[in-house]
Amino acid sequence: MFKKITLAASVATMALMAVPQAHAQDTIAVIVKATTSEYWQTVFKGAQAAGKVLGIKIEELGTPKDDAAGQIAVLEGAAGKKPLAIVISPTIFEALGDPVAAVSAVGVPVIIIDSGAKTDKFASFLTTDNVAGGKAAADAMATCIKERTGKVAGKVAFITAMAGHESLDSRDKGFKDGVAAYPDLKLVGNRVANNEEAEGMSLTADMLTKDSDLVGIFADNAQMGTGAGTSISEKKLGDKLCLVAFDADKGEVEHLNDGSIYAVIVQDPYMMGYGGVFNGFAAAHGVRLPKNVDTGVGAVTKANMNDPAFAGLMDVTKRTMSPYTGN
């Protein structure tokens, strides 16, 4: 079951009660990795919903695709406008550390979401426990393999969207650690893409050519999941190969329905945007925040995808917010 966010929402709610309402001209800048991605558009939706509750403006910023240098320029430009706070998902862990620290040093609170940066100079970090997510992917794959073959054994591989991303590195580590817990599973390969769906598709085909007896593949983000799902669908291998992917973009959900993907590991990008803005508002008014907040992770298969607990995670239009009650 999905582990729901609790701490960020409760702290932010207390902050809202404790401080005066913001003026209309107050702004929080939200900077994402890739504005063209469905995942990051969901982050913006959550941020805008929080802005509406707080009565503040949300500035949606970022580069069209992952671009560390471009993101640094966007960050510096946003900081120059002196917003209430900045919410950012760093593109590259190493590269964004000093720029984030510099923004904090000039008095603009920084809330980090999704992926880390090489600094501790931020007010709060809202993220998925990606190591746990990677392990959940390995467990889902093992379940699939056992369902289809009667035992947890065989060759498995994984596709990394991009190198140097803290969140992806953590997912991959979790997956490798998870596979190691099954002594009869053998990890035989890893491919690194350029975060392009078409490349995820071609890399999957390459893996299947090299190891035609693969029983499982893990794709560590939405682009890789959709690309791998398309490849498996075209080869009609959905009932033979256990594909587990991260996120729940439209293409992945389609492949979950047609059986090309066995399971998706869902995050909560909406809450990262929503909670990130609330925590940014709170930090701007002097509220001390938890340094790290786990926004939750869950494994969704075709069998449980209609569970009400996953409704707003699989389809953001079904997202509803309710008061925190301590559950």
Taking phi first (over 0 means left), then psi (-120 to 50 degrees means alpha), and beta for anything else, what does residue 221 get? beta
Q: Do domains 7-127+268-295 and 130-266 have the same CATH topology?
A: yes
Region 139-151: what's the mean pLDDT? 97
Is 195:65 a contact under the CB 8 Å cutoff?
yes
**pLDDT value of residue 23:** 45
Chain-wide mean pLDDT for the chain? 91
Whether pLDDT at 215 is above 80: yes
CATH number for domain 7-127+268-295, candidates 3.40.50.720, 3.40.50.2300, 1.10.940.10, 2.60.120.1060: 3.40.50.2300
Compute the distance between CA of residue 238 and CA of residue 256 in angstroms, rounded to an integer: 10
pLDDT, tens digit, 9 for 90 and up, residues 68-92:
999 999 999 999 999 999 999 999 9
Q: Beta-carbon neighbour count of residue 81 at 10 Å?
A: 11
CATH class of residue range 130-266: alpha beta
Residues in the chain: 327
Compute the distance between CA of residue 72 and CA of residue 218 in angstroms, rounded to an integer: 31
Res. 322 pLDDT band, cuts 50 70 90: confident
**pLDDT value of residue 250:** 92
Region 39-43: what's the mean pLDDT? 96
**pLDDT value of residue 14:** 43
Domain boundaries, the chain: 7-127+268-295, 130-266
Q: What is the DSSP string of 88-145?
A: E--SSHHHHHHHHHHHHHTT--EEEESS--S-S-SSEEEE--HHHHHHHHHHHHHHHH
Report residue 247 as tokens.
């996120």
pTM for this predicted structure: 0.87
**pLDDT value of residue 25:** 53
Region 308-312: what's the mean pLDDT? 90
Task: Express as a percent the part of the chain with pLDDT over 90.
Answer: 86
**pLDDT value of residue 164:** 85
Region 231-253: what's the mean pLDDT? 95
